[in-house]
């Protein structure tokens, strides 16, 4: 908790400085990677971006933003997505090819954060700097930087939104029937979101305010393989059939918007007319209208434009031979990775217009 607060304060400090010249004491290891970043590298160097399969809108957006942003910065960009089938092997291959092609920085949104050890070691050996993007790369000392929205904070905001939504919708109830969903077990973010949410929800489960009628509270039970909506919908169908005959579900912790919509479909299909409070994440175009009409309670705004721009700024710093700004460190099971966390924003119907004020496309969806 303390670390999170420190990180939050630091993020604000960096934001105030306009993200310039504020390297942490811990510093990155960019300077140690073959001595490259001490003197920088050519301004038109190859920068590789390896993204996972398109499990949510943010990943689709990121690809285009990286292509445009890297070109604008004068780099040669190579943006690749792992294919939907065989995604892990695909991504491993794509990263190896980027190393072979002489990429100076490789920005990676991992498909499976635990399966890239060999590839990032290859990158380190070749003198390329590895930046983990949005998802941490685990169990390797060859990860130089991590840039993401604070994932634990995302989970806490989701947990708090669920409680707030329940209290507002059911002012007369003293206990609520809820169900819990988490993300894909191969995504390093999934347990962090869930732990953040449970940090808020567990005390309320313990004191009986929240009743998980299915009894499924373990992350192994709540996980959604591949972040696939059909898997969430199937699990919710089974829960509705098994645990909600003759009673209603009041709230559902959903880790993102894609799964939230699948869960809402399942509850509707099961014949429950009054929809539960359902959380989300990503501010997807398909979910914002549902939030405005009261079908989905909340989402999280993680501005992809800001995350991509920050990753590109890191590459620009490295190009100049400067140390990218970081605000904290994140343990990846092997080393403390110098990390820059951005602040996620909780969005409900009440603050949507304000939250999306800087984003005309999202703002238009609130009207």
Tell which one of 45, 56, 140, 298 touches ligand BGC (CB under 6 A).
Answer: 56
58 binds ligand BGC (CB under 6 A): yes
Binding mask 201-230 for ligand BGC (x = CB under 6 A): --------------------------x---
**E strand or H helix at 107, and its extent?**
strand 105-108
281 binds ligand BGC (CB under 6 A): yes
Do 136 and 158 meet the contact criterion of CB atoms below 8 Å apart?
no
| Part of the chain binding ligand BGC (CB under 6 A), chosen from 31-39, 56-64, 74-82, 137-145 | 56-64
* Cα gap 76→335, rounded to integer Å: 30
Interface with ligand BGC: number of residues (CB under 6 A): 13
* Cα gap 12→19, rounded to integer Å: 10
The pair of structure tokens assigned to 8 is: 């939050």
Q: How far apart are the first and last CA of the chain?
A: 37
* C-beta neighbour count of 308 within 10 angstroms: 26
Would you say 58 or 287 has its CB closer to ligand BGC? Answer: 58
| Part of the chain binding ligand BGC (CB under 6 A), chosen from 16-24, 52-60, 73-81, 310-318 | 52-60
Would you say 224 or 316 has its CB closer to ligand BGC? Answer: 224
Query: What's the CA dihedral at 233, 236, 242, 248 to 10 degrees?
Result: -130
Tell which one of 36, 90, 112, 187 touches ligand BGC (CB under 6 A).
Answer: 187
Would you say 303 or 329 has its CB closer to ligand BGC? Answer: 303
90 binds ligand BGC (CB under 6 A): no
Would you say 59 or 66 has its CB closer to ligand BGC? Answer: 59
55 binds ligand BGC (CB under 6 A): yes
CB-neighbour burial class of residue 302 (10 A; exposed 0-12, middle 13-18, buried 19+): buried
Of the CA atoms within 13 Å of residue 172, those in its CB half-sphere come to: 0
Q: What DSSP line would sit under 14-76, residue for residue?
A: HHHTTT-S---SS--SGGGSTTHHHH---TT-EEEEEE---SSHHHHHHHHHHHHHHHHTT-E
233: left (phi over 0), alpha (psi -120 to 50) or beta: alpha
135 binds ligand BGC (CB under 6 A): yes
282 binds ligand BGC (CB under 6 A): yes
348 binds ligand BGC (CB under 6 A): no
Would you say 55 or 177 has its CB closer to ligand BGC? Answer: 55
Residues at the contact surface with ligand BGC, assessed by CB under 6 A: 55-56, 58-59, 134-135, 183, 187, 189, 227, 256, 281-282
């Amino acid at each position: 908790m303390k670390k999170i607060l420190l990180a939050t304060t630091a993020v604000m400090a960096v934001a105030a400085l306009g993200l310039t010249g504020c390297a942490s004491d811990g510093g990155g290891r960019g300077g140690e990677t073959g001595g490259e970043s001490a003197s920088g590298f050519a301004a038109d160097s190859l920068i590789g971006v390896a993204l996972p399969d398109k499990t949510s809108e943010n990943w689709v957006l990121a690809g285009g933003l990286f292509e445009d942003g890297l070109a604008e910065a004068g780099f040669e960009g190579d943006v690749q997505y792992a294919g939907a089938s065989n995604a892990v092997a695909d991504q491993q291959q794509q990263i190896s090819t980027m190393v072979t092609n002489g990429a100076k920085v490789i920005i990676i949104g991992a498909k499976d954060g635990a399966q890239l050890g060999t590839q990032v070691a290859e990158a380190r050996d070749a003198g390329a700097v590895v930046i983990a993007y949005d998802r941490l790369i685990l169990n390797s000392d060859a990860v130089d930087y991590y840039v993401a929205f604070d994932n634990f904070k995302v989970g806490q905001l989701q947990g708090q939104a669920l409680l707030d939504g329940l209290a507002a919708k059911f002012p007369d109830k003293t206990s609520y029937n809820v169900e819990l969903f988490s993300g894909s077990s191969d995504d390093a973010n999934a347990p962090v979101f869930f732990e953040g949410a449970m940090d808020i929800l567990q005390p309320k489960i313990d004191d009986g305010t929240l009743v998980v009628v299915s009894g499924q509270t373990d992350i192994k039970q709540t996980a959604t393989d591949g972040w696939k909506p059909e898997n969430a919908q199937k699990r919710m169908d089974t829960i509705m059939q098994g645990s909600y005959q003759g009673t209603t579900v009041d709230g559902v912790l959903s880790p993102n918007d894609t799964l939230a919509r699948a869960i809402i479909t399942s509850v509707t299909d099961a014949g429950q007319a009054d929809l539960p409070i359902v959380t989300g994440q990503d501010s997807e175009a398909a979910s914002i209208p549902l939030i405005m009409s009261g079908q989905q309670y909340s989402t999280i705004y993680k501005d992809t434009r800001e995350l991509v721009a920050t990753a590109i700024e890191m590459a620009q710093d490295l190009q100049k031979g400067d140390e990218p700004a970081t605000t904290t460190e994140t343990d990846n099971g092997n080393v403390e990775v110098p990390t820059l966390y951005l602040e996620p924003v909780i969005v409900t119907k009440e603050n949507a217009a304000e939250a999306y004020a800087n984003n005309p496309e999202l703002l238009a969806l609130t009207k």
